[in-house]
Amino acid sequence: MGWNQAQAREQWVRPANAPHALALGQLPREAQHTLALIQQGGPFPYAKDGIVFGNYEKLLPQRHRGYYHEYTVQTPRSRNRGARRIICGGPRRTPDLCYYTHDHYASFQPIAQ
């Protein structure tokens, strides 16, 4: 399934009050860089980049374990990984869809591509 097909499917199953998709240009520069690394297959700056995201908050559509992977979005002036992440579902280098969170999984915005 391609990116647009998955994005359309997700829009259909998302609640009506879910946020609209972010255009690539609306993301912070660091998130744009992380997306480029995902499409290249790395290398990633953090050891935990690419690990399975469990979706324990259940804010993303339910999928089988291992479908979602998380990647760190660098936070300027942060001493650790910070709170910003990109979560992608599907194949690692060609994900079906990705989400951005700036608040460590408290909310997600789909990324349009």
Task: Confirm if 111 and 27 have CB atoms less than 8 A apart.
Answer: yes
Pick the catalytic residue: 20, 33, 64, 70? 70
Active-site residue, 70 included:
yes
Active-site residue, 10 included:
no
Residue 99 burial (CB count, 10 A) = 24
Pick the catalytic residue: 20, 57, 102, 104? 104
Measure CA 17 to chain center: 19
Task: Confirm if 113 and 7 have CB atoms less than 8 A apart.
Answer: yes
Residues catalogued as catalytic:
70, 104
